[in-house]
Each structure stands twice: as structure tokens, then as C-alpha cells.
Structure 1
Amino acid sequence: MKRILLCCLAICCIFAFTACAPAAQTGESFAMDTIITQTVYAKNDSVIGQNNQILRDIENKMSKTIPTSDIGRMNAQNTQDVEISDDTAQVLKTCVEHAALTDGAFDPALGGLMAAWGFGTQNAHIPGEAELEGLLAHTDYNAISAGVNEDGKAFANAGGTQVDLGGAGKGYALDRLAQNLTDNGVSSAILSLGGSIYAVGTKPDGSAYKIGIRDPSGSENDYMATLELDGKFVSTSGTYERGFTQDGTYYSHILDPKTGYPVKNELASVTVICPSGILSDIYSTALFVMGPEKGIAFAHGQGVDALFLTNDKQMIATDGFAEKYGLSITNKDYHG
């Protein structure tokens, strides 16, 4: 009788644990010009819906292609103060601050140049020299300002530039989604916004969340390595993300703010891992523009982890990168 009672208690305990365990929620959507995938283990079945609303709100505030957005109105007014949301003001300040910190390697004032190149559109082409020179004259991130007016409302001024938050927006969105997970008591999830990913906790079987690092010379489903992620953000900038070929030459969307042309160095991609989504996004672009030697030194100085992949399949990483994140090379053509 005692043995039967113990068995019944054990079964009841297993049932109670299973009933109370967070259920897997998955979702795929499109926002901020990228595919969003989410896997969240939560008791609240509305978390992914909340996340999608946060993403739509950010896009409506910060997309340069939406005329009514904060950025759309800033660019249209160009040299006049425009009332904006607190969110946009925060992102603008962070972008300008880190543009200065990276000596312009990251630049939120490249909207005009990006539009001239037409990346991702049917009008992609090499702009003329005169056009580039004219646009470069209006890419001073120091001209962008943001603050609070006498009524306590946030405002900003593009300062004659064309603002583009494409190099920071997805990272900021991940910061907001991660906070929403915390607010909902979620301790296990993985969120992917294109080249930016956040993972926290472990899978139900106790294994780590593994992130694939794309092989720049392969297709979108080809990975050169995997790494393990828990409680941090990872962003990758690569030449393969967006670009076009003209007269046999490929032109990547990652522009050198000093020349207005796509960056020309030995790099194919840069992956950055740190505790901040927006900074992982910003730094992945900045370190790509800097190149491996200067980029490694900068990453060490800021205390972030980075992995550089060169066109000839060399790996260059910050100290201890492989050990920290369980880096596993799946394409043996890469070496470091």
C-alpha cells in the first residue's frame, strides 16, 4: 500500500510540474525590413504578441521609409526641430555618442548616401563622383541634435543630414524585447531579428542555445561555426547581407563614411557579442569599417567580444572568444 501511495505521489508531482512548466511559443513575422523569429517559453501566451507590438511601434517611430515616423519627419524637415518620441531620442543620442566614440566608423547620418546607392532596390547603382561629393558634405553626425524642449517633450534636428538608424534599430528592438521577456518572467527564449540575435537560459532539455555564424562565401543556410549564447546579444555585419554587382564587381551595403564608397578591406564579416543589443548592432558595423587590427584593439578597449572573418577564410577574435562561447568550427576551411 505504501509503495502504491508513493508511486501515486510521484505521478502527481510529475503532472503538477508539467502542468506548471512554461509552454513553448513560436512565431515568425516580418518587421523592420527583416524576418523575425521567436521561440519563447512562457506561462503567458501573449508574450510573442506583445513583442510584435513593440516591434511595430519601433518601426513606426524609427523607419526612414515611413514619412510619418520620427525619422521620416526629421529628414523631411531637415534643418528644423521636430518633436519625437522618447524612444527615438534615446536611440539618436546613443548613435551620435558612439559615432564619436568610433571616430565616425559608425555614422547615423548616411541616409542620403545609402539612398543614392539604392541598396536593396531595383535602382541599385554606383552614384557619380559629383553626387557622392555633394552627399558627403551632408553626412556630419555632429550636426544631429536631440533634447527636451521647455514643454518637456523630446525633439530632434537632423542638422541638414539624412538620418538612418538602420545600423542600430534592430539591436535597440532586441533590448526592448529582452526587457519584455524579463517583465513577463521568461527565463528561456531565443529571438532573431535578421543579423541580430538574443538568447537567454537553456532549452527545456538543459542544452544551450546555439547560434550559427554564417559562412560569408556560402548560402544563407551555410554556417562556418556555431556558438553558445545565454543572456547576451550577438550581431553580425557582412558583405553578403545586401549589395549588387555592376560590371562584374560586387558592391556591399557597408559604406565607408569617409569616402562614401563600400568598405574595401580584407573582411567578409564581423560578429560582436555584448550585454547590449544596440551596442552589438552599432559595434558590428563600426568594427567592420575599422578593419581587423584597429577593430580588435577597439573591442578590447570597450570590453566586447568580436570575431572577424576575412575573405581568405581567416578567423581573428578577441581574447578568449572561443572558450567563452563554445565556438565550434563546422567549416574546416576557416582557420585562425
Structure 2
Amino acid sequence: MSSTLRISALLLAVLMLLGGCRAMTGRSAEPVSGVEFAMNTWVEQRWYGDEAQETYDDIMACLRDLEARLSLYREDSEISALNASAGREPVRVSRDTFTLLSRAKEFSAESGGLFDVTIAPLTLTWGITSGEPHIPGEEEIAAAQALVDYRGLILDREAQTAMLAREGMKVDLGGIAKGMAASVCAEIPRKHGVSGYLSIGGNTMVCGKKPDGQDFLVGLRDPRGEASEALGSFAMDGLTMATTGDYERYFEQDGVRYHHVLDPFTGRPSASDLISVTVISADGTLADCLSTSIFLRGSGALEQYFARDDCRVIAVTKDLQVYATPGLWDDFTINPSKTQYTFHKS
């Protein structure tokens, strides 16, 4: 089989627009920044302040710790232990892992199973995020689908244990863990008194302002442009932005793009009319989960999410229509060069 796996190495969903900092002098104006691979994606950081290096290092240590516990692909992780014990016995997990599993199950129920924390059998069958993708046959898909059911995740809060009801079931926290990680890491720059941003794949957290007092502007990635192209930008101090898009991770075969957002009801990459969904919230876990759920539901469900008061949403359809929570337009500066898109402000 001939296929090509394409994973954007940097700025999977956003472009940080950081001009204007050079006017400052002194240590605080010189950022500590870098890009490293963690949590199965690229992590970018940039911090300003006397304790910028400590912030950078503490965040990477936090992400490595979370990855060690939550990764589907590490044999020694708590999630791998849970998956290996499916259908046999409960596994005691750390408090953070238990909390994330609990929220993931709640979100799964809220979405009616469209977002499903036990999607791993399908994730592994397609292999799109593993580096070895392929198009599975009908029997493979059906066998994997039969093992996807969030109701089979059994949680015991008092014992702090988790169990999967049937052998072969597996948990995949990839659709929620990065948003949670962004929220957890938000405490680190506050503790060190620095400003800057953290981008974990499609999840970006911003803390404070630039050294010259200006806002950090977050660019919304053009889902049909290059990684450096943005549809527009907005300020986002103290919030986390999560983006799900069909351009993030995918492979192509015979001219067809197969992206990583799998629909548990079809067993295949989502066929909704959306190509990008961004959710902005103070709760990174919520933002991460909702961006996936909305992407799977399609544009017909947007109005119910626009009405929520715990997040703001901006979505792009296959025919390049851009819709957003009405109040978001007041803070969003459209890139005037993106004339191929229609921005619906009402």
C-alpha cells in the first residue's frame, strides 16, 4: 500500500503573532523559547521574565510526567495498565488520571457517545497517529467498533480505581489530555511571575502580556493554507484554545485524505461538513473535548454551542464558511487577504 503520513511539525493549529517585543531592553525582554516533542505532538513555548527558564523546564517536566501516566503508546503508563487489564480486574491510578478519566466519561455521556473515551480500538486499527496508517477492511472496523462503549469504563472513586468491562476494550485520552495538560501547566507561569504562551499541538494557553504591555495575539490557522497562514487573530490572556482540524494528522491514498478524527458510529474518519473547530475557554479540558465533539457533529449543531457561556467557538466548513459565537467577532481581527472565506458575523 502506498501512503503518506503528514503531521505538521509546528503550530498545528495556531500561529503566535509576537512582533513588537524588541523595543524592550533588559533580561525580561529576551524570551526563553523552544520546541520539543511530548505527549505525541510538538510542544512550543515562549516565556518572558526573570524565571522564564524555570518556567520552561517545569512545564516540560510536567508534560513528561503526564505523558508517562496517560499515553496510549507507552507500555508502562497507567492507561496501558488499564487497557491490559480490560475484562479482568480494576487498576488503581493516580488522582490526576482518575479525574481525567471521570471527566472523559462525563463528556462521552454528554455527547451521546460521539466523543468516546474508549475509541482506542479504532484509533489503533487505523494507526493514523501512530506513524503506520492504513485503511482497515470492513471486518477490522466492525470488530474495533464493537469494543467502543464509554459505558464499559467502570470507575470507583472511593478506591480510586478504573476498569474496562470487556477484554479488548481500550481507553484513548488523546482527545482530552492535551487540553487538561494546558490547564494544569497554566499554574506554572503564574507561580514564576512570567508571561508568554504554551502550545501543545492544537491546544494553546496564554498567560499575561508581552514585556511592552501589548497583548499576545493568537492567530487562527487557515485550515487550507500553509502552517504560517492565519484567518485572523485575537487576544487570549488567561484562556486556553483547542483546535480540531482535518489538516492536523492525516494520510492520503489514491487521492483521498484520511484524517485522525474518527467517528465511533461509522468507524471511519468523520464525514461532517467541518474542517476546523476552535473552542476557547478557561477550562482547557472542556475546550479540547468540545472541539472534537463539535467537529464530529457538524455545522448543524453549532447554534447550541454558540449559546454556551463557558466557551466561545469558531468553526470553518468545507465550503470555506466561517461561523463563530457572536461575541467573538468583537475580539477577532480578520486577515483581509483571506477573501476566499466568508465570515458570518450575524
Superposed pair shares fold, TM > 0.5: yes
Partner of 1:64: 72
Match for residue 151 of structure 2 among 142, 150, 159: 142
- Identify which of 127, 137, 151 aligns with 1:118: 127
Shift of 1:25: 2.4
Cα offsets for 1:91-127 (capped at 9, x unmatched): 1001111111122221111101011011044542221
Alignment map for 1:60-99 (pairs within 5 Å): 60-79=68-87, 80-99=89-108
- In the alignment, which residue of structure 1 is the partner of 2:39? 32
Q: How big is the shift at 1:230?
A: 1.0
Match of 2:229 in 1: 222
1:299-318 deviation line (CA, Å, top 9, x unaligned) = 42353211110111110111
Aligned mates of 2:155, 2:309 — CA distance in 1: 25
Distance across 2 between alignment mates of 1:75 and 1:239? 27
Deviations 1:228-253 (A, max 9, x none): 21111101100011112223221111
Between the aligned residues of both structures, percent identity stands at: 33
Question: 2:174 & 2:306 partners in 1: Cα distance?
Answer: 21
Q: Is residue 239 of structure 1 aligned with residue 246 of structure 2?
A: yes
Aligned residue identity for 2:200: L
* Contact 2:234–2:331 (Cα < 8 Å) also in 1: no
Larger relative contact order (Cα-Cα within 8 Å, sequence gap ≥ 6):
2
Structure whose alpha-carbon radius of gyration is higher: 1
Distance in 2 (alpha carbons) for counterparts of 1:230 and 1:267: 27
**Equivalent residue for 1:198?**
205
RMSD, matched Cα: 2.0
2-side partners of 1:175 and 1:57: how far apart? 15
Partners of 1:24 and 1:249 in 2: CA distance? 42
CA distance in 2, matches of 1:86, 1:216: 37
The normalised TM-score by structure 2 is: 0.86
User: Any conservation in 2 of the 1:225–1:330 contact (CA below 8 Å)?
Assistant: no
Instruction: Say if 2:232 and 2:333, in contact at 8 Å, map to a contact too.
Output: no
Q: 1:298 to 1:19 in 2, by over 3 A?
A: closer
Shift of the 325–224 alpha-carbon distance from structure 1 to 2, 3 Å rule, reads: closer
1:158 corresponds to 2:167: no
CA contact (8 A) 1:105 1:287 kept: no
Structure 2: gaps spanning 5 or more residues:
1-23
Q: CA deviation at 1:145?
A: 2.2
Compared with structure 1, are the counterparts of its residues 56 and 301 closer, same or farther at alpha carbon in structure 2 (3 Å cutoff)? same
Q: Residue 46 of structure 1: SS of its match in structure 2?
A: helix
Distance 2:189 2:107 in 1: 27
Greater fraction helix: 1
> Which aligned pairs between 1:12-27 and structure 2 lie closer than 5 A?
24-27=31-34
- Confirm or deny that 1:181 pairs with 2:196: no
1:291 match: 298
Unaligned runs of 5+ in 1: 1-16
